[in-house]
Amino acid sequence: MRARTLLMTLTVLGLIGIVAAPGAEAAKSAAMTACSGQWDTMKKDNKLPKDETWSQFWSQCSKDFAAKNPAAATAKPAKAEKAAKPEAAAAPKEVKKTTAAVEESDTPGSTQQKRDCDAKWDQHKTASGAHGWHDYFKFMAGCI
């Protein structure tokens, strides 16, 4: 699970690095330009709705833009200028982590149950020829 989380974090950071790379050419639609301008203005004036993220704002703003500008919504995006804003490239975006709580506490009789299963494992291993961690964990999962 930790390896998966690490891989996802590195992937996100890599994508942020690609997007924020100076000189990178990116296609920017008219909706993106308009909505980005609105977002920046609202941010500068401290008028961003509480707890609203860029993703949520972009989702609604792009729909509103398409409704008001049907011709621009179907047009192909223009290539962005090569010069990137220096402050945008310098400030890394903050990535929020969330973790799920897992109940791992032992029940009062679980220690004895584990000992009983270990004794059964020895008998099972001798009778079946099973060996190794894979077989052990498979057996214990069925026993407990």
Sign of CA dihedral 104, 107, 108, 113: negative
Q: What is the model's pLDDT at position 45?
A: 92
pLDDT digits (tens, 9 = 90+) for 107-144: 777 788 888 888 898 888 889 988 888 888 888 888 87
Report the alpha-carbon distance of residue 25 to residue 115 in Å, rounded.
63
Low-confidence ranges of the chain (pLDDT < 70): 1-27, 72-93, 102-106
- C-alpha 104/C-alpha 97 separation (Å) is 21
Residues 6+ apart with CB under 8 A from 22: 84, 86, 89
Average pLDDT, the chain: 74
3-state secondary structure 59-99: HHHHHHHHHHCHHHHHCCCEECCCCCCHHHHHCCCCCCCCC
Among residues 137, 142, 133, 144, the alpha carbon closest in space to that of 110 is found at: 144
For residue 88, what pLDDT is reported?
A: 54
**Residue 7: predicted pLDDT:** 55
pLDDT at 25: 41
